[in-house]
Chains A and B, each alone.
Chain A
């Protein structure tokens, strides 16, 4: 504890700002450490930290109490303790795998050096390690996939949203399509996307694997609609007075977009972006399970197929990690939204 307190004090200004944005309860803790009005800080900490902790503790107790009573073909349902053990195991497996990989590269290097010492013209082959991806690798894969799909989708949806928000005609033309495609589960697209990617994305030395492209496009498809609709609504809802100001000032098109349209649409835009990212994360896991594409979804599916006595515990670890990452992603979006929002009085949650 003592150590963590000291390190907290050392956090510099910029990081502290970020922390403040992401975790509301840290602010009073930091203030308390600085000795600012301790009584008030304690009340805030109590409300924002202690109460949620009590909630979590009660949940853990109920979980621990009921889990052993649910007996499956793979043994009793894992309680918090087993899940914790498995999470430790998963990290250990990851470290083991890393050591193996390092050992492999070390052997390869030595072998090649020997070869070159004998004959400087010898052709040296460098192979990459092909071990099984660990749980942590799968997390990284999923995160990269979801962020790529989300960013690409936003890069399409925001400009389109602005255009259809500005032009009622364009809105009339595109709205039926949006309404038609919006309710479609992106998983329904998955087979089509898979087939199209296999047919179109042909390269002898592909920069990205096909499975990555498939998952990423599926994420992209579900990220488009909430961002597009919300951006359009935000743009269409600009106050008429501000539009008149723009007209009287004779602002050029780009100035009009960047000084008037975008800032007034930002709150709605971020609502759309947050919805999109939330849906994207859920969809990605399902898509990875269904298509056997690398990522957390595949991890869950593999463990399910594996069916050892540890499987349920490991799946439970994945479930909690998926939830936690989803929560963190939403928090990051929220802090971005708070940073970008001009209306500091608006309550964002």
Chain B
């Protein structure tokens, strides 16, 4: 068997608390192939972000570890670019300069100034932001900021693109636009992507595999659903597809039957409460933030 592109082997993490270590993740095993689009889904507090942070190198696993192309991940680095939930652009730099900061860091030896400029502009075009390159983050909308954030991550030419609820703070229409853009880019560039999401539709529409996580503490991977929908996927026709709805149903079943929201599993009163996840959107894509 060949070695996977990205390998998470027996990853466990303990966070120190006054009452002793708290095990957040327990024995997470996952192999990701090159070019694969993976979604992590689960209830709040199940450690999705922790998994992503470990792959990014921002957290260190207590036990087990992550290997990317045969090299162990022990610190953050631009080959594992992160798109943060709240864009995290530097507010004192223009969109162009934000991307430039990343490009200069990654290509300072391999690209000339003109090549860098071209590369930055190319990435801005990928996310359809070439018209607002000189605007500062404070002057553009949330969706545009997130586009720049994606451009910054793409411009690093990462081996793995890590996205932490990239569209969580956006309204439904903007989110749909960005999802379409992301699918286009993924089809063009074939990046390996790991994306955290709360949105079942988003997960089914975008992913090759959906990794469903059990509830914490000591969260782990509950099930992995392979999505074998043909690409390119088109959201409107998908919504009528039986296959699509089947996948959607599978995820929902996992989330609401096998892994109930921990907030609802309080003893005694739990029976009376209607079964709904406050952070999860089921039907519509009404904006959470």
Residues of A at the B interface (CB closer than 8 Å) are 239, 241-242, 244-245, 247-251, 255, 259-260, 263-264, 342-345
Which residues of chain B are within 8 angstroms of A239 by Cβ–Cβ distance?
88
Q: Are B136 and A342 in contact (CB under 8 A)?
A: yes
A245 to B105, CA, bound (A): 12
Q: Are B81 and A343 in contact (CB under 8 A)?
A: no
Contact of A249 among B75, B84, B105, B136 (CB under 8 A): B105
Q: Are B90 and A250 in contact (CB under 8 A)?
A: no
Q: A249-B101, A249-B105 are in contact. Are A241 and B92 (CB under 8 A)?
A: no
- Chain A residue nearest to B158 (CB atoms) is A248
Q: Are A248 and B138 in contact (CB under 8 A)?
A: no
Which applies to chain A's interface (DSSP): helix, strand, loop or mixed? Answer: helix
The smallest beta-carbon distance between B182 and chain A, in angstroms, is 19
Contact of A241 among B84, B93, B105 (CB under 8 A): B84
A239 to B58, CA, bound (A): 15
Q: Tally of A-B residue pairs with Cβ under 8 A?
A: 54
B63-90 contacts to A (CB < 8 Å):
75-78, 80-82, 84, 86, 88, 90
A241 to B136, CA, bound (A): 17
Q: Can you list 16 pairs linking A and B with CB atoms under 8 Å apart? A: A239-B88, A244-B82, A244-B88, A247-B58, A248-B56, A248-B57, A248-B76, A248-B80, A248-B82, A249-B101, A250-B75, A250-B76, A250-B78, A260-B90, A263-B92, A345-B138
- Chain B residue nearest to A244 (CB atoms) is B58
- Chain A residue nearest to B91 (CB atoms) is A342
Q: Are A242 and B78 in contact (CB under 8 A)?
A: no
The smallest beta-carbon distance between A72 and chain B, in angstroms, is 56
- Chain B residue nearest to A247 (CB atoms) is B76
A344 to B156, CA, bound (A): 30
Residues of B at the A interface (CB closer than 8 Å) are 56-58, 75-78, 80-82, 84, 86, 88, 90-93, 101-102, 105, 136, 138, 156
**8 tightest Cβ-Cβ pairs between the two chains A and B:** A342-B92, A241-B88, A247-B76, A263-B92, A248-B76, A249-B105, A248-B82, A245-B88
Which applies to chain B's interface (DSSP): helix, strand, loop or mixed? Answer: loop
- Chain A residue nearest to B149 (CB atoms) is A245
The smallest beta-carbon distance between A208 and chain B, in angstroms, is 38
Q: Are A250 and B92 in contact (CB under 8 A)?
A: no
Q: Are B77 and A245 in contact (CB under 8 A)?
A: no
The smallest beta-carbon distance between A113 and chain B, in angstroms, is 61
Which residues of chain A are within 8 angstroms of B84 by Cβ–Cβ distance?
241, 244-245
Question: Considering residues B86, B92, B101, B138, which has the most beta carbons from chain A within 10 angstroms of its beta carbon?
Answer: B92
